A and B are shown apart, each in its own frame.
Chain A
Amino acid sequence: MYIEKTFAQKFRSFLTFAAIPLFAFSVVLVIPFLVGVFLSFTDWNGIQAIDSFDYNVIGLSNFTAALSDPTYINTLVLTFAYVTLVVVITNVIAFLVAVLVTSNLPARNFFRAAFFIPNLIGGVILGFIWQFIFSTFITRLGDLTGIPLFQYSWLVETDKAFIALVIVGVWQLSGYMMLIYIAGLVGIPQEVIEASTIDGATTSQQLLHIKIPLMIQAFTISIFLTLRNSFMVFDVNLSLTRGGPFRSTEMATLHIYNEAFISQHFGTAQAQAIILFVIVAVVATTQVIISKRLEGRAL
């Protein structure tokens, strides 16, 4: 750790290392977000120029409207269910796959590529592909095989449509997380593993007692990213189910989008986006704090 004595020294380091990225970060992300927060306290209609000030500050009424919207509460509950399932399943699969493709598996580069490929494609396109599969493809399969599970489109029944969303979420995210776990597994010093092999540890003992504690960092990052991505799920939700059938698979961000652009309640939508932000912030911060504690213990 560097100790910098004078202000001039501090300022020079800041200019060299941090000024440009922080400038971009502030003007591109922070300022529009703060403007968005401000607008959530006004009756801005969504198309007025922001610098026109043709709108009025109306206090908290967008927030009361946001919270008294029963659909929004339902979408939040649904989002929590979705996040829980996707975070758990994705990380379990990603970790196991990472262990698999770092073992002495034949053609492991092929498998790494195969598991990663879903990440190569943007969310909306993924949604289109899977929509075709869950509706057109699956019903044809049902016709041919007579399996009742495939008789009808999965996207038109509440439970199956939700499961479809979870499947696609896991399918899309797990390759990305696999990469992070691979980096973690490969980053463990070879000597440690060798030492434990000499001590007679089995493969699963090595995994549980040596590898996992040494790669907690990878778990922190991976769980944080899955949390964030599944809370923010939007593209796939939009292009796969559009919230249907009868708005039963509408997640929080899609609801916000619909509230703004379909119902044209911009203030309410803006307020709902900020409430969602606060919720995710609380959940993610809790997760990061817990993981950092675990890291500290492991090191």
Chain B
Amino acid sequence: MSKNTRRIVFVLFILVLTLSVAAVQAQDRVQVTILGTIKPEIADPFNEAVATYNAAQDQYEVVVIPRDGDPVQMMTSLSASGNMPTITNMGQEFSLFRDTLCDVTDTTFSQHAFPGTQADVTIDGRVYGMPITIEAFGLLYNQAVLDEAVGGTFDPATITTRSELAELLAAVDALESTEAAIHVSGLDWSLGAHFTNVMFTDQSADAAERVAFIDALKAGEAALVENEVYAGWLDTLDLLLQYNQNAGSPLAPTYDDGVLALGLGEVGFWFMGNWALPNLFEMNPDVAYGILPVPISDDPATYGNTAISIGVPSNLVIDCAQSTPEEQAGAIDFLNWFVTDPVGQDYWVNRFNFLPVYDTFEIQPQDAASQQILQYAADGLSLQWMNNLYPAGGWQAMGASMQKYVTGQIDRAGLAGELEAYWQTVE
């Protein structure tokens, strides 16, 4: 062995030793595991928040299990192998795992949540999850482009019908500075989970009737071609497609292409949600963004024409089947930290870009679009996320049909047929 090799071996030896000592020391604290970083986009700030939390107290150590791959596959294999993380961020998977989750009704975060935000995770009056944020989708717009199009300051209250929207689209389209009026993402989740939501949620102002509509579809008793909302909804979609930046190949653009198009002002509109705001600000920090409803008729009074879809995308849940009571207590402590501690709140709002749904928050988001969304919510102009009621695999199936419609493979009747056929397979 040369001198250098020996030196390297020695250094490696010391390194291994230190690592094992560190590992042993860490054992003193209760390890609380969390699957992934809530969303991959906020991995860096989330890891930072975990480190801050771990340093701030000496009882618990939060460990992030890296999420590499399909989240449901990871949850399933971890659960089946007896290694379920203490905390998991769940959307539709909630229904599969609900028997294994902790009742968190009496925790601080649950007690301070805004009314209604926990509806998706409430079973028989008990709460089983922590909503992370509310998200809204609709027609995101670039304020600068729209100002130019209307020759002044654009006021979102002026758009309440499809024809008003059509005029505005024409004006944006006519601008020298733009390539087209709107960027429509052909992504299956955007079309299948979000755009379809407009049709389901606009069915009725009454929540029970909206559910009844879905039940009728399942029973094969609803004919979409005769449905007024369905027709109006597709009229609006056709309008958007007419002014679409990628009319030649509607499915081609990626999510990033949408960020680029709206951020750089190539278009005035993008059908997307507020989760895109951090990306848009990164692309162009000098522009203000806003969000418009998707009107489905020429009557301003039609339900949905002046409201945007607002909902809870996912919830943090705590495993009760495989975790120890100490781990569960640690998980609750960690989640409370975000809601009650000013440092945690700062991460939640300013670094994760979540819209807080807890009355404990001193810190509120400052940008125009976020405030606009909170205003819609405060005014009661929010539409239900019916997509939370879609069964597993639902948005994928409907997204595929929507993609066929958008590319002209099927017409309205064809789309109606596919959507009806899909719902009839649902038990």
Q: Beyond A50-B80, A261-B72, is A246–B249 a contact (Cβ under 8 Å)? A: no
Interface extent on A, as a size class?
A: 20 to 34
Which of the listed residues A135, A247, A257, A258 has the most CB atoms from chain B within 10 Å of its own CB? A247
- CB of A135 within 8 A of CB of B252, answer yes
Tell me if A276 is interfacial: C-beta within 8 Å of chain B.
no
Q: Which residues of B contact A225 (CB under 8 A)?
A: none
Please, which residue of chain A has its CB at the minimum distance from the CB of B322? A49
Tell me if A84 is interfacial: C-beta within 8 Å of chain B.
no
- CB of A139 within 8 A of CB of B252, answer yes
- CB of B249 within 8 A of CB of A153, answer yes
Please, which residue of chain A has its CB at the minimum distance from the CB of B256? A136
Q: Which residues of A contact B120 (CB under 8 A)?
A: none
A3 and B96 CA atoms in complex are apart in Å by 58
Q: Beyond A46-B96, A152-B248, is A261–B73 a contact (Cβ under 8 Å)? A: yes
Tell me if B396 is interfacial: C-beta within 8 Å of chain A.
yes
Query: What's the least CB distance linking A126 to chain B, in Å?
Result: 16
Q: Which residues of B contact A262 (CB under 8 A)?
A: 72, 392-393, 396
Tell me if B379 is interfacial: C-beta within 8 Å of chain A.
no
Q: Which residues of B contact A152 (CB under 8 A)?
A: 248-249, 252
What 0/1 readout, one digit per residue, does chain B (342-356) give for beta carbons within 8 Å of chain A? 000000000000000
- CB of A264 within 8 A of CB of B80, answer no
A46 and B82 CA atoms in complex are apart in Å by 13
- CB of B76 within 8 A of CB of A46, answer yes
- CB of B400 within 8 A of CB of A247, answer yes
A262 and B392 CA atoms in complex are apart in Å by 6
What 0/1 readout, one digit per residue, does chain A (138-164) give for beta carbons within 8 Å of chain B? 010000000000011100110000000
**How many A-B pairs with Cβ below 8 Å?**
71
Q: Which residues of B contact A45 (CB under 8 A)?
A: 96
Query: What's the least CB distance linking A236 to chain B, in Å?
Result: 15
Q: Which residues of B contact A104 (CB under 8 A)?
A: none
Tell me if B407 is interfacial: C-beta within 8 Å of chain A.
yes
A193 and B250 CA atoms in complex are apart in Å by 58
Tell me if A244 is interfacial: C-beta within 8 Å of chain B.
yes
Q: Which residues of B contact A24 (CB under 8 A)?
A: none
Tell me if B218 is interfacial: C-beta within 8 Å of chain A.
no
Tell me if A263 is interfacial: C-beta within 8 Å of chain B.
yes
Please, which residue of chain A has its CB at the minimum distance from the CB of B78? A47
What 0/1 readout, one digit per residue, does chain A (251-274) give for beta carbons within 8 Å of chain B? 000000110111110000000000
A49 and B82 CA atoms in complex are apart in Å by 8
Interface hits, B52-111 → A, CB 8 Å = 70, 72-73, 75-76, 79-80, 82, 96-97, 100
- CB of B393 within 8 A of CB of A263, answer yes
Q: Which residues of A contact B79 (CB under 8 A)?
A: 47
- CB of B80 within 8 A of CB of A263, answer no
Secondary structure call for the B interface? helix
Interface hits, B203-249 → A, CB 8 Å = 248-249
Q: Which residues of A contact B404 (CB under 8 A)?
A: 246
- CB of A135 within 8 A of CB of B254, answer yes
Secondary structure call for the A interface? loop
Q: Beyond A47-B97, A262-B392, A264-B393, is A246–B401 a contact (Cβ under 8 Å)? A: yes
Which of the listed residues A152, A246, A258, A261 has the most CB atoms from chain B within 10 Å of its own CB? A246
Tell me if A118 is interfacial: C-beta within 8 Å of chain B.
no
Q: Which residues of B contact A258 (CB under 8 A)?
A: 393, 396
Q: Which residues of B contact A245 (CB under 8 A)?
A: 251, 400, 403, 407
Interface hits, A210-269 → B, CB 8 Å = 244-247, 257-258, 260-264
Q: Which residues of A contact B75 (CB under 8 A)?
A: 47
A153 and B401 CA atoms in complex are apart in Å by 20
A145 and B198 CA atoms in complex are apart in Å by 40
Q: Which residues of B contact A261 (CB under 8 A)?
A: 70, 72-73, 76
Q: Which residues of B contact A263 (CB under 8 A)?
A: 392-393
Tell me if B186 is interfacial: C-beta within 8 Å of chain A.
yes
Tell me if B188 is interfacial: C-beta within 8 Å of chain A.
yes
What 0/1 readout, one digit per residue, does chain B (383-427) give for beta carbons within 8 Å of chain A? 000000000110010011101100101000000000000000000
A46 and B73 CA atoms in complex are apart in Å by 10
Q: Which residues of B contact A135 (CB under 8 A)?
A: 252, 254
A50 and B77 CA atoms in complex are apart in Å by 12
A136 and B75 CA atoms in complex are apart in Å by 33
Interface hits, B116-158 → A, CB 8 Å = none
- CB of A151 within 8 A of CB of B393, answer no
CB-contact partner of A156 in B73, B82, B249, B392, under 8 A: B249
- CB of B392 within 8 A of CB of A47, answer no
Q: Which residues of B contact A157 (CB under 8 A)?
A: 249
A290 and B76 CA atoms in complex are apart in Å by 41
- CB of A151 within 8 A of CB of B396, answer no
Please, which residue of chain A has its CB at the minimum distance from the CB of B395? A262
- CB of B96 within 8 A of CB of A156, answer no
Interface hits, B238-293 → A, CB 8 Å = 248-252, 254
Please, which residue of chain B has its CB at the minimum distance from the CB of A264? B392
Query: What's the least CB distance linking B246 to chain A, in Å?
Result: 9
Query: What's the least CB distance linking A240 to chain B, in Å?
Result: 13
What 0/1 readout, one digit per residue, does chain A (25-60) give for beta carbons within 8 Å of chain B? 000000000000000000001111110000000000
A285 and B349 CA atoms in complex are apart in Å by 60
Query: What's the least CB distance linking A45 to chain B, in Å?
Result: 7
Please, which residue of chain A has its CB at the minimum distance from the CB of B418? A246
Q: Which residues of B contact A48 (CB under 8 A)?
A: 80
A50 and B80 CA atoms in complex are apart in Å by 8
Q: Beyond A262-B392, A264-B393, is A244–B82 a contact (Cβ under 8 Å)? A: no
Given contacts A152-B248, A246-B188, 19 further A-B contacts (CB under 8 A): A45-B96, A46-B80, A47-B96, A47-B100, A48-B80, A49-B82, A136-B254, A153-B249, A156-B249, A245-B400, A245-B407, A246-B401, A246-B403, A246-B409, A247-B396, A261-B70, A264-B96, A264-B392, A264-B393
Contact surface of A with B, Cβ cutoff 8 Å:
45-50, 135-136, 139, 151-153, 156-157, 244-247, 257-258, 260-264
**Could you write out 10 A-B pairs with CB less than 8 Å apart?**
A47-B75, A50-B80, A139-B252, A246-B188, A246-B399, A246-B400, A258-B393, A261-B70, A261-B73, A264-B392
The 4 residue pairs across chains A and B that have the minimum distance between CB atoms? A263-B393, A152-B249, A156-B251, A246-B400
Contact surface of B with A, Cβ cutoff 8 Å:
70, 72-73, 75-76, 79-80, 82, 96-97, 100, 186, 188, 248-252, 254, 392-393, 396, 399-401, 403-404, 407, 409
